[in-house]
Structure 1
Amino acid sequence: MAMTGVGLALKAYGLAWKLALPLLGLNGRLKDGWEQRTLAGGMPAPADLWMQAASGGEAYLAWEVLRHLKPTGAETLRVLVTTNTLQGYQTLLRAAEEINGRKAGLAVQPWYFPFDAPELMGRMVRRVNPKLAVILETEIWPGFLSACKAGNVRVLLANGRMTTKSLAGYMSWPGLFRALAPDLIMAVSETDGRRFGTLFGRERVGGMPNIKFDRMGDAGPMPRKNNPLRDLIREGDPFVIFGSVRREEEHDVTRLAAGLMSERPTTVLGLFPRHMHHLDLWRRAMDGAGLNWVLRSRLTGPARPGTVILWDTFGELVPAYGLATAAFVGGSLAPLGGQNFLEPLTSGVTPVTGPHWKNFAWVGRELLDSGLAVEASGWQEALESLKKIIDHTPPRREVAAAAKRYIRDRRGGAEAVAKQVADSLNKD
């Protein structure tokens, strides 16, 4: 695509944003941070480094990188960290409090990522005037990238992951994205690297360990006495978690739940929807299967055996894993890419996943080959696997220790990104 074509594409993109912004104002999920998203309430302070983390998961990755950053000289390193979601923003606030409190020569300012309208992004980049922008995972925004190009801001895409579906979408405008390509991409696997190379050119792509291994390297079983959920699950009751289950796998997950509660009737089942706004769907599903259920928010004492707890409270999945006997990790019974099964594993629970976990291929097939996690071909096989784990539960400490050994050899992603940031900033 010639530059005139790129200019026309960006002009059309900007027009689409102008038409969309009034409608976005009606979206209740975007009301948090609206003045920052639209720059109506002003703009942040200038920064040396701008790091973008899409939502809660990426915000934790940003936090890990921030812990490894060091000033490149005598002056304070000013860092703007942005996100698209309330959960991400709350995480970045905690990260900023920790990093700034250490007084280690970093000044971290959280902010909502502006809407990607080229005019808004142009104003934002000119105001912040960073030397380097770091994008975590797959945040490829044309307005942001074009503003960085116009401002001579180098762009590093780190912890890069890309699905075949995402690549297909970006390839609808291949010339545009090639023209706006980041200066360097650090991909977490060879497969992801090839996809980024197809879009942006192989010469820009390198590799790195996934920062998620860094986050989990120090994780371990939480002692029951320290677990904030200990009063909800009686010691000795089989407690099975369905973690991050998705709407698209409702039918199979419901059959899995019904089968488990029928064949192991003393079980307490904790069902964690991946998206809380689909909670009513899971209520109807449990009613349709004839299962007894209670909302987590209404539970004040131990759950009765044979009860499904519909988890309507944020931020409790990891401590729940700390009490679990067994766990099924959702997003994997339908072709959705799966969810992170390292979380139950580091808590000492052998996770069961369905066949669709390609988004977490970075974890490594060796994890399943070693028996640390179990892959089921469908809900029936997942049921049999969960029953075996309930009946013969591996010692929590042994599972967690094996997981820690596996993770230890794969750490170093945050340090690699921090080194690349330092190298880039020192080029000035």
Structure 2
Amino acid sequence: MIRFIYNLFWPIGLLFFLPGYLVKMVRRGGYRKKFGQRLGIYDSDVRTRLSKRRWTWLHAVSVGEVNIALKLATALRALEPDLHCVLTTTTTTGFALANKNAPSWIEVMYSPLDYWPIMRRALAIIRPARILLIEAEVWPNLAAMAHARGAPVALVNARLSRRSERRFRRFRFFVARTFRLLDLICVQEQEDVDRWAALGVARGQIHHTGSIKYDPENADIDPTLPRKVLRELKVESRPILFGGSTHAGEEEILGRIVRELDADLPELFLIVAPRHVERAPEVCRALEQLGLRVAVRTQLSMVNRTVDCLLLDSTGELRNWYAVATVAFIGKSLIAHGGQNPVEPIMAGVPVIFGPNMENFAGLALSLIAHGGAVQIDSPSDLQRAIVDLLNDSRLRETLVANASAVLRQHAGAAARTAKLIVDLTRR
């Protein structure tokens, strides 16, 4: 009955959300490529490749989840050398990153919409031996149809904030049945076990593995390209303030800080990486209005002057760029809410600063603060003081990084633990 209601209202919901979804797709670009895959329509070459074997289907929404999926797939292949995967993603940026980094044994596609005729067609063509959902994407039709086909479904690197738990509990009648279809849930934090159990999932199916995203093992960071770009701009020896995954308003705050510190720290160079690259033109205008001379990552051939700031408008390179930073500010934590992932700069050996709004990474943020592994600020003025303190004290920077690295080591081996549970699940 619940799925009947879901499928009955699904077209209405699509019409309601479709305008905003299409606008977002157009802004990000590349939406026409393989659009039919979102409707479960695959060309003959893809169908031929898919027909040759049974696949492990990994579903990852966007860039962050794609990185987790690739890391998990590598850990799985260490246990199953003949493993072949289908990796589906929702966003064009996630698709581009997966296409760029996936090995030949992973077929990259767009995820089909969770409407029953579309999902039924996709499952019939992909024929998954098992399905691995990354972090938070649990769709009713996908879960129910996979269960009916005998394909186990696992939710890996699962996260469930207090806010999400309260929302799910409010609608427990509707969501509990879908969650109970999950054969395995691998959670990031021990307290998440109780939260998932409260939603009706059997405790025997919930395992605390740690976070694959935070797992420092086999971290692949290559600063070769960033260093080359900085040499071309003649700023390779300057201290660098890095704004990672910033949201609207945060770029201007960083720009004003650089301007205000010009007298005391004239060599300070700003690199900004907006969370959504389609915002790059407006970010560039805002920074130039502050009097900063801005170079754009994809337009470096046009730079013929000394610059104060580099704007990154490319995707899939953020972890490598963090490696050239002196201090990193984590976006979506001061003006917007939710926060962004602080792990990549820590893995690159860079001290991090974030604002008060780290809800999506609350457990990690609290642990970093408790162990002296990050600086949390409440206002732009606090941010400026923290930046100055870190730029002027190399020992403080080293201490923050060492403490943060110790926190991440608690998650070491998360990918391998998750992979073993998945293999054990399949062998039952």
TM-score (norm 1): 0.83
Whether 1:90 and 2:96 are equivalent positions in the alignment is: yes
Deviations, residues 31-76 of structure 1 (Å, cap 9, x unaligned)? 2320211223345435242211111211111111111214888x94
**TM-fit CA distance, 1:149:** 3.3
**TM-fit CA distance, 1:416:** 1.6
Kindly provide the amino acid, as one letter, of the partner of residue 86 in structure 2: L
The verdict on how the C-alpha distance between 1:94 and 1:312 changes in structure 2, with shifts beyond 3 A counting, is closer
Q: Is the 8 A contact 2:252 2:287 kept in 1?
A: no
Q: Does the residue aligned with 1:80 lie in a helix, a strand or coil? A: strand
Structure 1 range deviating more: 6-15 or 134-143: 6-15
Whether 1:12 and 2:9 are equivalent positions in the alignment is: yes
**TM-fit CA distance, 1:269:** 0.9
The verdict on how the C-alpha distance between 1:117 and 1:18 changes in structure 2, with shifts beyond 3 A counting, is farther
**TM-fit CA distance, 1:396:** 7.5
Aligned ranges 1:250-399 → 2 under 5 Å: 252-253=253-254, 255-261=256-262, 263-299=264-300, 304=306, 307-363=308-364, 365-394=366-395
**TM-fit CA distance, 1:316:** 3.7
**TM-fit CA distance, 1:252:** 4.4
Structure 1 range deviating more: 232-241 or 379-388: 232-241
Whether 1:108 and 2:106 are equivalent positions in the alignment is: yes
Instruction: Say what the alpha-carbon RMSD is for the aligned residues.
Output: 3.4
Corresponding residue for 2:130? 132
Q: 1:53 aligns with which of 47, 54, 60?
A: 60
Deviations, residues 386-416 of structure 1 (Å, cap 9, x unaligned)? 0111122349877666654443342121112
Corresponding residue for 1:35? 36
Q: Structure 2 CA distance, aligned partners of 1:140 and 1:309? A: 38
Corresponding residue for 1:65? 72
The verdict on how the C-alpha distance between 1:15 and 1:379 changes in structure 2, with shifts beyond 3 A counting, is closer
Q: Structure 2 CA distance, aligned partners of 1:207 and 1:172? A: 25
The verdict on how the C-alpha distance between 1:139 and 1:191 changes in structure 2, with shifts beyond 3 A counting, is same
TM-score (norm 2): 0.83
Deviations, residues 293-350 of structure 1 (Å, cap 9, x unaligned)? 3323343579737x12222233443333222222211111035221222222222221
The verdict on how the C-alpha distance between 1:260 and 1:315 changes in structure 2, with shifts beyond 3 A counting, is farther
Q: Structure 2 CA distance, aligned partners of 1:393 and 1:71? A: 39
Corresponding residue for 1:103? none
The verdict on how the C-alpha distance between 1:222 and 1:123 changes in structure 2, with shifts beyond 3 A counting, is closer
The verdict on how the C-alpha distance between 1:212 and 1:345 changes in structure 2, with shifts beyond 3 A counting, is same
Q: 2:120 aligns with which of 112, 117, 122?
A: 122
Unpaired stretches in structure 2, ≥5 consecutive residues: none
Deviations, residues 216-257 of structure 1 (Å, cap 9, x unaligned)? 334498677993334135343222111111116466455445
Q: Does the residue aligned with 1:213 lie in a helix, a strand or coil? A: coil
Q: Structure 1 CA distance, aligned partners of 2:230 and 2:110? A: 35
Kindly provide the amino acid, as one letter, of the partner of residue 7 in structure 1: F
Q: Is the 8 A contact 1:352 1:373 kept in 2?
A: yes
Aligned ranges 1:189-208 → 2 under 5 Å: 189-201=189-201, 203=203, 204-208=205-209
Corresponding residue for 2:86? 80
Q: Is the 8 A contact 1:234 1:302 kept in 2?
A: no
Unpaired stretches in structure 1, ≥5 consecutive residues: 101-106
The verdict on how the C-alpha distance between 1:5 and 1:405 changes in structure 2, with shifts beyond 3 A counting, is closer
Corresponding residue for 1:228? 228
The verdict on how the C-alpha distance between 1:145 and 1:226 changes in structure 2, with shifts beyond 3 A counting, is closer
Q: Is the 8 A contact 2:3 2:140 kept in 1?
A: no
Kindly provide the amino acid, as one letter, of the partner of residue 36 in structure 2: E
Sequence identity (%): 25
Corresponding residue for 2:173? 175
Kindly provide the amino acid, as one letter, of the partner of residue 37 in structure 1: R
Q: Does the residue aligned with 2:85 lie in a helix, a strand or coil? A: strand
Q: How many aligned residue pairs are there? A: 413
**TM-fit CA distance, 1:372:** 2.9
Q: Does the residue aligned with 2:156 lie in a helix, a strand or coil? A: strand
Deviations, residues 369-393 of structure 1 (Å, cap 9, x unaligned)? 3433211122111110101111223
